[in-house]
Structure formats: structure tokens, C-alpha cells
Structure 1
């Protein structure tokens, strides 16, 4: 049974079925679709004897990757920060109420930090770019145009999956995903670069929320632009 399921999941077209099932599950609960997709990834990698290169982790973590991820994260904080400010100015603020428990509560902050690194930074990058984006690109020919199209489709899908953040959140996350898609296209064997950037960026904002100064930063961006 495991061998048959594995043989099906490594077929190029299986990614379409996985996304369709994940989407249907997400209509019931957004976490169901995410964990279903991630479960497929882990099952496949497990059957491949933990060959993580299947989802883009073909290089070990090294100093160059750490340095690059740090400066790119800082750049990513300011550029999308400006874009997010414009979106929130016209479309309303992101709904981040799910993180309110971390404000001033170090215990909740520490737990959320671990959850974020495991399920957002690592899990989302492995699923959406290492698996979905790569499998789509290879399904339709593995050309530059196909990779671009795949990145756009996954960015839209990833943005919609963050619908709980409101319209500005959907668009902002989608734009950010396009940036990550470009990075992945340029670094197909080094998904850990994206994992670190994602984790550092989210860590910055989570820390600002914990310190209850995220609104101050948002106001600074607004004063800068408007």
C-alpha cells in the first residue's frame, strides 16, 4: 500500500490532485489543507529515504547562506513594509488578532516563535515552494516561462490561504510570495535560504508584536509615505 501510494505521489500530475484536495479541506479548516499537503511532502521524502533534495533542500546550511539570508531579510522588511503600508492605507489593516496573546507575554511569545519557525518558515517554504511550485514547473515542462507561471500561481494560492488576515493581508502575502518564488527559481537547490529569510522576517514582526510596538513601526512607514 505504501509503495503504491508513493509511486502515485511521485507522478508529475499528482501535485494537481494534492492541491485540489488541500483546497477542499481548507474550506472546512485552513489548517487541514496545510497539514494534508505537508503530510504528503513528509511521506514522499520519507519513502525517498529522507532525500530532502526532492523539495529543494540540496545544500547544507553554511555561513554564506546565513549571511545572505540576514541581509535579504532586512531588505525584505523594508521593501514589503512599504508595500504593506500602501495596501493597509487603502484596504485596511492586516488582521493579526490571532497573535494578540503574545503581546507582553514571554511564554506565549516563545511558544509562538517555535511554532512559527517550524510550521511557517520551514513548513510553508517546503510545501509551497519546494513542493507545489517545483512540482508544477516540472509538470508543465520545466522551462523559465513555466517556472514564472508556477511562481505566480503559487503566490496567488499562498495569498488566498492567508485570507484570515483580510484583503490587504492576502495581497501583501501574495506579493511577498512572488519575491520568494523568484529567490527559489534562482536557488533551486537551496531552499534553506528561503526558510531562513522567512523565519527572520517573521521573527522581527513577532518580536515587535510582543513588545507591542508594531503599530509604532506601521505609523513610521505611513509617515514616511504619506
Structure 2
């Protein structure tokens, strides 16, 4: 009898990992409204965090300026997601932001980041233009040549790329899209495709090669990793560490 009770509890935990208990009571229209509100608030967060240093502090959008951008972008993005999720009575843990199995999830993220770094900088980038690639040129211009810029970009990689973008695009945007379409396999596929396209286009300043590159790693692979793990830790660590590795390689070797 005790064993059966224990098994039942384990089964309940597994079910709750996949989706919150209230998912069946939320209409598609409510999810669509949540998606719209969150997207609007994220757009405001993106614009406000990236524009205020130049507007109010008269700083160029390069180098150490990103040390101002990173924490503001993170705070405003988390606030946007938090407020939007209230429409469906969700919280951060419902979209996978938790410390459950943190060590295992972080290790998976580390392995993914390491694999992508090796593939990118030893195979893909050398074969597609190397230092002359538009995305490499754009990133180097923003990074600058001093250690203050390096620090700022590392901060942006962790707070902006790793945490803010994964919480919004994987935890919020992908989840909201999928549930707006009905939470079926077709809905999931459509959500992944749309998330990949939107995420890639937001990196349009890196040119077409940067858009394609971002679509494959930051869009498609992170979305599939999120669907596999049903947890944001692996995505946050993978995205954040890959950006950190990329910044260090760009600064010291390009």
C-alpha cells in the first residue's frame, strides 16, 4: 500500500513537470491575449533598455554602454513576462524557471554550449567567411577593444542572452504560442517555427548570415532543448555560456 502511494506521488510530480494543472481551463483566446500583451511589453522593454543610454546618458551603443543595458533589459523583460502570465494565472515555475535538478540541467546546458562553440568557431565560421562575416564585424564593432567593453558584453551575454531572452522566447513566447494554437503536436511545431523566425529576425543587424546562424542555434536548437527538458535551466546555461565563449573568442582571437 505504501509503495503504491509513493508511485502515485511520483506520477503526479511527472505530470506537473509537463504542464501545470490549470492548463485545460484556459481558453485559446486568453492565451492569445497573453501572447499579445507579453510581446508588446517585451518590445517596450527591448526599446527602453537599449535606447535610454544614448538618449539620457549620451553614450554610444558600444563597449561599456552594454553594462547599463544588460540589467535594465533583464529586469524589464522579467516584469513583462510576470505581468503577462497573470492573465492565465501562471507563474515563472509554470514556464520552467525553477531550480529543479539544477546540476543535471546545468551540465546539459554546458555540453550544448561547448558543442556549439566548437562547431561554430572551428567549422562553420571559418567555412563561411571567418572574420569578414557581417555578424562577426558587427559584434566586434559593438564589443570594442578595451576590457570595459569585454566586461559589459559578458554581462550582456549572461543577463540578456542567457536569462532574459530564454525566459521570454522559450518560457513565455513558445509556451503562449503553443497554447494559443491548441497545445497539439502541430501547434508545437508551428510555435517552434514562429519562435525561431522571430528570434532570428530580431538579430537582423548581424546581416543574413547572422540571422541564419541565430535561427539555428538561438531559435531552433534552444526551442527543441526547452521542449526536451521542460525546464529553462539548460536553455539559460547553454545560451548564456555560448555567448560568453563567443565573446571571449571574439575579443582575444579576432
What is the correspondence of 1:36-75 to structure 2 with a 5 Å cutoff?
38-44=78-84, 51-60=91-100, 62-75=102-115
Cα deviation 1:129-169 (Å, max 9, x = unaligned)? 11000111111121223212211111000000000111110
Q: Secondary structure at the match of 1:126?
A: helix
- Which residue does the alignment assign to 2:169? 128
Q: Which runs of 5 or more structure 1 residues have no equivalent in the other structure?
A: 1-6, 215-226
Scaled by the length of structure 2, the TM-score of the pair is 0.66
Distance 1:143 1:14 in 2: 19
What is the correspondence of 1:81-100 to structure 2 with a 5 Å cutoff?
81=121, 82-88=123-129, 92-100=133-141
Distance 1:20 1:47 in 2: 13
Distance 1:192 1:58 in 2: 7
Question: 1:165 aligned to 203, 206, 230, which one?
Answer: 206
Q: Contact conserved, 1:162 with 1:170, CA < 8 A, in 2?
A: yes
Cα deviation 1:202-226 (Å, max 9, x = unaligned)? 1111111221x13xxxxxxxxxxxx
Assess, with a 3 A threshold, how the Cα gap between structure 1 residues 191 and 107 changes in structure 2: closer, same or farther: same
1:184 is aligned to 2:226: yes
Q: Secondary structure at the match of 1:13?
A: helix
Deviation of 1:94 (Å): 1.4
Deviation of 1:60 (Å): 3.2
Distance 1:104 1:41 in 2: 35
Q: Contact conserved, 2:45 with 2:80, CA < 8 A, in 1?
A: no
The number of aligned residues is 202
Deviation of 1:119 (Å): 1.3
Distance 2:40 2:205 in 1: 20
Larger-gyration structure (1/2) = 2
Cα deviation 1:156-183 (Å, max 9, x = unaligned)? 0000000011111011101111011111
Cα deviation 1:7-46 (Å, max 9, x = unaligned)? 9xx92112442376469869988958x8876542033468
- Which residue does the alignment assign to 1:144? 185
Assess, with a 3 A threshold, how the Cα gap between structure 1 residues 93 and 111 changes in structure 2: closer, same or farther: closer
Q: Contact conserved, 2:133 with 2:209, CA < 8 A, in 1?
A: yes
Scaled by the length of structure 1, the TM-score of the pair is 0.73
Q: Contact conserved, 1:15 with 1:136, CA < 8 A, in 2?
A: no
- Which residue does the alignment assign to 1:12? 31
Deviation of 1:196 (Å): 0.3
Deviation of 1:66 (Å): 2.4
